[in-house]
Amino acid sequence: MIFASDNWAGAHPRIASALAAHAGGFEPAYGNGPLDAKVQAKFAEIFERDVAVFFVGTGTAANALSLVSADRPGGVSFCHRESHVMDDECGAPEYFTGGSRLHAVDGALGRMDPDNLTSAIGRFAGDNVHAGRAAAVTITQATEIGTLYTPDQIRKISGIARQHGLPLHMDGARFANALVSLGVTPAEMTWKSGVDMVSFGGTKNGCWCAESVLMFDMDRAKEFGFIRKRAAQLFSKSRFIAAQFDAYFEDGLWLETATHANAMASRLAGHVAASASMRLAWQPQANEVFVVMTQDTADALQQKGVHFYDWNTPRAFASQIAPGERLWRFVTSFGTTVEDVDRFGELLS
Amino acid sequence: MIFASDNWAGAHPRIASALAAHAGGFEPAYGNGPLDAKVQAKFAEIFERDVAVFFVGTGTAANALSLVSADRPGGVSFCHRESHVMDDECGAPEYFTGGSRLHAVDGALGRMDPDNLTSAIGRFAGDNVHAGRAAAVTITQATEIGTLYTPDQIRKISGIARQHGLPLHMDGARFANALVSLGVTPAEMTWKSGVDMVSFGGTKNGCWCAESVLMFDMDRAKEFGFIRKRAAQLFSKSRFIAAQFDAYFEDGLWLETATHANAMASRLAGHVAASASMRLAWQPQANEVFVVMTQDTADALQQKGVHFYDWNTPRAFASQIAPGERLWRFVTSFGTTVEDVDRFGELLS
Amino acid sequence: MIFASDNWAGAHPRIASALAAHAGGFEPAYGNGPLDAKVQAKFAEIFERDVAVFFVGTGTAANALSLVSADRPGGVSFCHRESHVMDDECGAPEYFTGGSRLHAVDGALGRMDPDNLTSAIGRFAGDNVHAGRAAAVTITQATEIGTLYTPDQIRKISGIARQHGLPLHMDGARFANALVSLGVTPAEMTWKSGVDMVSFGGTKNGCWCAESVLMFDMDRAKEFGFIRKRAAQLFSKSRFIAAQFDAYFEDGLWLETATHANAMASRLAGHVAASASMRLAWQPQANEVFVVMTQDTADALQQKGVHFYDWNTPRAFASQIAPGERLWRFVTSFGTTVEDVDRFGELLS
Amino acid sequence: MIFASDNWAGAHPRIASALAAHAGGFEPAYGNGPLDAKVQAKFAEIFERDVAVFFVGTGTAANALSLVSADRPGGVSFCHRESHVMDDECGAPEYFTGGSRLHAVDGALGRMDPDNLTSAIGRFAGDNVHAGRAAAVTITQATEIGTLYTPDQIRKISGIARQHGLPLHMDGARFANALVSLGVTPAEMTWKSGVDMVSFGGTKNGCWCAESVLMFDMDRAKEFGFIRKRAAQLFSKSRFIAAQFDAYFEDGLWLETATHANAMASRLAGHVAASASMRLAWQPQANEVFVVMTQDTADALQQKGVHFYDWNTPRAFASQIAPGERLWRFVTSFGTTVEDVDRFGELLS
């Protein structure tokens, strides 16, 4: 019963097959092969517009380099206090930008609060060289705690960003999980709602290693080839990423795996809700379930072979954790089975 | 007839199979799975000693982060004038170190001349804060132009480095090609000759994407986990690299593919040597053949479907290029066939 | 009536005279002259121990480079939420470290709360490459809002730092103001309380431009010459800084000017306390007075020729500001006269 | 007899007096005072056009930050092989740009050879992400070895830069020495010859510490306030730099001191030319004299109290140094006296 992370799963069989199918023969390196071109065209089709597509190797790279492309001297980028860029990338955004700052913005349920964002940007508006100045806004969809921004909520954020002349980046490590949960189109969830750049992740949803930076502004994209190469993220045998995305999009595999992962999370959440020994921290909207229980209860489950992690309590949730309680995270993926989820449910009852 | 680059080849069938075989099931992420451990142990066996192994995604990353680990304020690293770190990484070493300098050292046939190295380091020795100071030496094996350092030649370089307290890094993007050509052991080609860190490349020799930083000094290695993660090079589904290396080493596949690639280069060189319209620039020692011919001759070949690239003339070779002539590079790989090499040979006669 | 900032004052007459007196003749550059050596010896005498002294040009440089010297890959440094490094240096600490992070720690009255510090460091303890790791702690003395750490409070902070193997840096832009207010020795306020590095500022207390990084650990200091030069902070005509410090320490001038500035702040605070139209935000302990009043009241004063700035409300103080009120800062210096302070007092009554 | 460096001199009496005269009273900090404005207007007058003026503390800062303002991802800047940015700034340009590269261009007598520049830029032209790309060209006037570019020679360089869309920066640490030697106007030596940015140095020519970055492109200048502050080069008591420049320009002091220094160099060169034990390496054009003599001859002079430094032999001059000979540098300044020069001359005869 592995609910440790969606990156504990390997590759979906159709991804693995596609890789094997594309292993043979010679192709131009560094993204110049026909499969690269095919996948780029597929992205344009899916997003219903021109889009610049840059493969990179990790979600951390996708996020950090997006922020590099938006940076300027004295730059400050705004993210949620408990976002991945803030908590789980070892300072990569700051490192790759050469020292720009991430500024934490609070908000309930993993979402930046628009008023807090406005007031945070306000501190860096104008031409005050002592303070530094705003450079970009970045949101995570689905958020680090498995909740979602609706397109309306995204538009609210992008409106504020635009008012200050800032690009809006979306960390879409779990893009597909958010998309199918909201039931909107990729266009609606991104550029139609004011998103300028996307870290489009395939890895957590069934690929081995397939991440892309998407840019809707072709002018900004012109710089990105150098930004990526200088950052050691231009893969020579680029087709091994292209092949994954090719299979990922084929016959809607990506939507299928995300839908499955989300359903497994819902099912798992149902078991939790029915249990007397734990409770849902909040309603899951994608493929992550956050649960409040005691250390003892968690220990007992782990001894029975259930894998999951403890989680730092978000500031906005702190008041809802009683002494002795802790927060825990369960993640489902394309590889999670109904059987495992229900075995877990049985352990609870 | 693709002699453009060894990275135009895809993955060796046994690498591709291994990847497929390891696609299913759940494994701990970020390098903590059993396959990661198995591969690390395999490296220790191959190198006949303890060695810290860090998977990364690209050769550029392996080189740049090795230099980061050796860097210090005002640091200057010494490399051959026409090395890969100098000419083909978009300044990644300087970027990742936050501004340390690469200092070009001349030498014939792609190898740093020891006297030139000594005199170059001399400019940065002592405690002259204006000049900066030496931080590391890095050599490429096989070199960018397909020649080799013998263990004796490596020891000469490492002796100089050690005299100045500098670690010696080896860019082994074509490690296996050098190894089988020299007929020495991995230990002899590295730590027994004074090498401290290796960028151990699998990609050019039959993998999709498998690179490692090897460190023989466990103290230095302690920092590297942070250096790698901060640089966005820690892969979540680490087993997809481990699986490649696992197959790479299995039954000596890596030696076999390198031997084949080298043999194809030799065969191709034979055709060139026998041709009236071109000549070998120098004797190939690994899987790259450098050829002098006119633009017209090259154009004619390319129109007949032969793929190869022009190459910047090394400074030490400039006097040997006549007006109207140019330098061209042919690369062979595990995927190069005797048939293709001989079809090329026929075109020459 | 200039209470805008202590850097609106020029140079104390004795500083100006010393500069003029040392203008003539030739001296070795870059800190190698006899006056440099004399001043360094004077620092050692004042601090009652060996201390490495590095002149730099600005307080921002002193702070940022101190943090560089303590940094390591993935590093995070801890400072008060409203400290100068955080709010007023345009991200210089992050820039010079190449991307290390400043982590805000809350605490009342401008001082880091020890419990908050402990819990903040806890998030970055251990070997979690995703989170990054603690690198240094930095406190400001006097704090950005004119309060002080007692030696006991410093020891509390340094104890926590030491427990985690972290050096403690003190931003002493207003070192002298703090010192004379506490009535302790420089040694007691620094290394005897566990401080490892000091940004020792002379500029705000009567110099033109005289800042020093002090290091009590000679091993750490070995690197600093390169850190400083690479950062463009090694001044060729170093004696122009040395001459300022020479006069600064001569006959206790520095204590005299600080004592005067503090007394002026006290006197000004007395006028505020006696006024019906405003109130002291908190009791001043050095040369800064923070006042709560309405915008209208402030406007009226400014129209009468009183110069002072509005100030961002510290988070810990937010609940004490009523709607319509605002926070304002008044700063005194060696140049502030009793007459000006009392003219201001008259305006209030 | 101090010919060690022009930075061994202190401050010209008129500079020292100006500083003392401006010491008193309150002025807005950070460059916002009336004296700052006056000096900026003076620069505009001297350069016969609008120019953005940014005071900084060191020549290294002026150079490095100019290059920051011209930089872009993968950037490479072109300088003479033995320029100050290359040899004497501890890698500051690379550090402040976060890793952009300096590319050495050869040329006789300290001047970049235009053909070499063209061919160097050619390696980085186009959109080759592996190579990186050209970002800026920087020349030194007077050069590191005391020679000059004529306006025609500058125009040749700027023509090449412009052809590749690159800004041209001039390191004018010895701007005045070059200017008076050429007998042209500041406008002719800079923007009228295609120079876009200037590091305008006052320190070596009689100031304590007065350097400026001048920008003729107001759009580029908009970013520079943040670039400077983030780099810890915004001085709070900015008037102490302004006051120096004010006196520097007053009644043509700067031209007078430069003329004197140059004349002293000429006179010293005359003594060398007349001597049997040494020879001029090349004809001095500003305030530096380079001399070839044996170590023994140099030792004897130094024992008699003559201060001067050995110098790394420029590559282009290497063939003109016989075994046993060495290159030595003598620098004169506003403070050099006829008496000292002639006492030196007597020692030679």
Q: What pLDDT sits at residue C204?
A: 98
Q: What is the ipTM of this complex?
A: 0.97
Q: Which residue of chain B comes nearest to A209, CA vs CA?
A: B237
Res. D325 pLDDT band, cuts 50 70 90:
very high
- Quote the radius of gyration of chain C (alpha carbons, Å): 20
Q: What pLDDT sits at residue C62?
A: 98
Q: List A329's β-bridge partners, or say none.
A: A290, A309
Query: Mind giving me the DSSP string for D261-324?
Result: HHHHHHHHHHHHHT-SS-EESS--SSSEEEEEEEHHHHHHHHHTT-B-EE-PPPGGGGGG--TT
Q: Which amino acid is at C62?
A: A
Q: Which residue of chain C comes nearest to A73, CA vs CA?
A: C90
| Interface size, chain C vs chain D, as Cβ–Cβ contacts under 8 Å | 175
Mutant choice from D86, D101, D128 vs B, greatest count of B C-beta within 10 A: D101
> Helix, strand, or coil here: C282?
coil
Q: What pLDDT sits at residue D136?
A: 98
Q: Which amino acid is at B49?
A: R
Residues of chain A neighbouring B17 (CB-CB closer than 8 A): 20
Averaged confidence pLDDT in chain D: 97
Q: Stretch A219-233: mean pLDDT, rounded?
A: 96
Compute CA distances A55 → A210, B29, B56, whole Å.
7, 21, 16
Q: List C148's β-bridge partners, or say none.
A: none
Res. C349 pLDDT band, cuts 50 70 90:
confident
Residues of chain A neighbouring D54 (CB-CB closer than 8 A): none
Beta carbons within 8 Å of D226's beta carbon, 6+ residues apart: A72, A73, A74, A129, A132, A133, C90
Shortest Cα–Cα distance, C95 to chain D (Å): 7
Q: Stretch A111-133: mean pLDDT, rounded?
A: 95
The CA distance from B173 to B187, in Å, is 17
B72 touches chain D (CB under 8 A): no
Q: Is C226 within 8 Å of B72 when comparing Cβ atoms?
A: yes
Q: Is A127 within 8 Å of D72 when comparing Cβ atoms?
A: no
Q: Stretch D70-86: mean pLDDT, rounded?
A: 97
Q: What percent of chain A has pLDDT over 90?
A: 99
D236 touches chain A (CB under 8 A): no
> Helix, strand, or coil here: A209?
coil
Q: List A325's β-bridge partners, or say none.
A: A294
Q: Picking from A121-125, B41-45, C131-135, C239-243, which range would have the lowest pLDDT averaged per residue?
A: A121-125
Q: What percent of chain B has pLDDT over 70?
A: 100
D125 touches chain B (CB under 8 A): no
Distance from the Cα of residue D26 to its chain's centroid: 33
Torsion of CA A261, A267, A268, A273, to 10 degrees: 140
Q: What pLDDT sits at residue C126?
A: 82
Q: Which residue of chain B comes nearest to A26, CA vs CA?
A: B9
Residue A37 pLDDT > 90, yes or no?
yes
Shortest Cα–Cα distance, D155 to chain C (Å): 30
Q: In sequence order, which ranges of C84-193 are alpha helices (DSSP H)?
A: 84-87, 92-96, 114-122, 151-163, 175-182, 186-189
Q: What pLDDT sits at residue A241?
A: 98
Mutant choice from D77, D82, D95, D309 vs B, greatest count of B C-beta within 10 A: D95
Edge-to-edge strand list for the sheet holding D325-331: D279-280, D288-294, D325-331, D309-310
Q: Is A226 within 8 Å of D98 when comparing Cβ atoms?
A: no
Summarize pLDDT for B50-92 with one digit per residue, the tens.
999 999 999 999 999 999 999 999 999 999 999 999 999 999 9
Q: Which of B7, B74, B9 is nearest to B337 (CA)?
A: B9
Residues of chain B neighbouring C72 (CB-CB closer than 8 A): 223, 226
D95 touches chain C (CB under 8 A): yes
Which chains have 3+ CB pairs within 8 A of C? A, B, D
Q: What pLDDT sits at residue C125?
A: 84
Q: What is the pTM of this model?
A: 0.98
Residue D331 pLDDT > 90, yes or no?
yes
Q: What pLDDT sits at residue C67?
A: 98
Q: Which amino acid is at A270?
A: G
Q: What pLDDT sits at residue D126?
A: 82
Q: What pLDDT sits at residue B86?
A: 97
| Residues 18 through 57 of chain A touching chain B, CB cutoff 8 Å | 19-20, 22-30, 56-57
Averaged confidence pLDDT in chain C: 97
- Cβ distance A214 to A200 under 8 Å? yes
**Could you tell me the two tokens for B34?**
């059993």
Q: Is B101 within 8 Å of D94 when comparing Cβ atoms?
A: yes
Angle at D278 between CA D272 and CA D279, to 5 degrees: 65
Shortest Cα–Cα distance, C225 to chain A (Å): 22
Res. D157 pLDDT band, cuts 50 70 90:
very high
Q: Which amino acid is at D314?
A: P
Q: How many CB atoms lie within 10 A of CB B310?
A: 11
Q: How many CB atoms lie within 10 A of CB C88?
A: 18
Q: List A310's β-bridge partners, or say none.
A: A328
Q: Which residue of chain C comes nearest to A311, CA vs CA?
A: C123
First to last CA, chain D: 16
- Cβ distance D95 to C231 under 8 Å? yes
Q: Is B91 within 8 Å of D132 when comparing Cβ atoms?
A: yes
Summarize pLDDT for D192-214 with one digit per residue, the tens.
999 999 999 999 999 999 999 99
Burial pattern A69-85, b for ≥16 Cβ within 10 A else e, equals bbbbbbbbbbbbbbbbb
A99, A129, A131 member nearest C94 (Cβ): A99
**Could you tell me the two tokens for D337?**
């006296």
D15, D64, D239 member nearest C232 (Cβ): D64
**Could you tell me the two tokens for D67?**
């290059």
Q: Is D237 within 8 Å of C91 when comparing Cβ atoms?
A: no
Residues of chain B neighbouring C98 (CB-CB closer than 8 A): 98-99
Q: Which residue of chain C comes nearest to A128, CA vs CA?
A: C90
Q: Which of B197, B207, B73, B192 is nearest to B129 (CA)?
A: B73
Pairing verdict, β C197-201 and C211-215: antiparallel
Q: What pLDDT sits at residue B349?
A: 86
Query: Mind giving me the DSSP string for B55-119?
Result: EES-HHHHHHHHHHHH--TTEEEEEETT-HHHHSSTTHHHHHTTS-EEEEE--GGGS--HHHHHH
Compute CA distances B232 → A60, A89, A200, C183, D180, whole Å.
5, 8, 16, 50, 53
The CA distance from C63 to C140, in Å, is 10
Q: Is B230 within 8 Å of C68 when comparing Cβ atoms?
A: no
Q: Stretch D262-277: mean pLDDT, rounded?
A: 98
Mutant choice from C15, C27, C68, C90 vs D, greatest count of D C-beta within 10 A: C90
Residue B348 pLDDT > 90, yes or no?
yes
Mutant choice from C54, C56, C226 vs B, greatest count of B C-beta within 10 A: C226
D206 touches chain C (CB under 8 A): no
Pairing verdict, β B75-80 and B133-140: parallel
Q: List D308's β-bridge partners, or say none.
A: none
Summarize pLDDT for B259-291 with one digit per residue, the tens.
999 999 999 999 999 999 999 999 999 999 999
Q: What pLDDT sits at residue B97?
A: 98
Residue C89 pLDDT > 90, yes or no?
yes
**Could you tell me the two tokens for B213?**
């930083």
A74, A129, A229 member nearest D129 (Cβ): A229
Res. A126 pLDDT band, cuts 50 70 90:
confident
Pairing verdict, β B279-280 and B211-215: unpaired
The CA distance from C168 to C135, in Å, is 10
Q: Is D91 within 8 Å of B99 when comparing Cβ atoms?
A: yes
Res. B125 pLDDT band, cuts 50 70 90:
confident
Mutant choice from A208, A238, A239, A257 vs B, greatest count of B C-beta within 10 A: A208
Establish whether the linkage from the previous residue to A276 is cis, with ω within 30° of 0: no
- With tokens 């320490």, the residue in question is C249
- Cβ distance C56 to C62 under 8 Å? yes
The CA distance from B150 to C26, in Å, is 55
Beta carbons within 8 Å of C121's beta carbon, 6+ residues apart: C78, C134, C137, C160, C164, C166
B126 touches chain C (CB under 8 A): no
Q: Which residue of chain D comes nearest to B86, CA vs CA?
A: D131
Res. C99 pLDDT band, cuts 50 70 90:
very high
Pairing verdict, β A168-172 and A133-140: parallel
- Quote the radius of gyration of chain D (alpha carbons, Å): 20
Residues of chain B neighbouring D123 (CB-CB closer than 8 A): 312
Q: What pLDDT sits at residue B126?
A: 82
| Residues 282 through 341 of chain A touching chain B, CB cutoff 8 Å | 307, 335
Compute CA distances C112 → A295, C30, C68, C315, whole Å.
31, 37, 21, 12
Angle at D63 between CA D245 and CA A130, to 5 degrees: 75
Res. C45 pLDDT band, cuts 50 70 90:
very high
Q: What percent of chain C has pLDDT over 90?
A: 99
Q: Is B131 within 8 Å of D98 when comparing Cβ atoms?
A: no
Q: Which residue of chain A comes nearest to C94, CA vs CA?
A: A99
Residues of chain C neighbouring D204 (CB-CB closer than 8 A): 236
Q: What pLDDT sits at residue A30?
A: 96
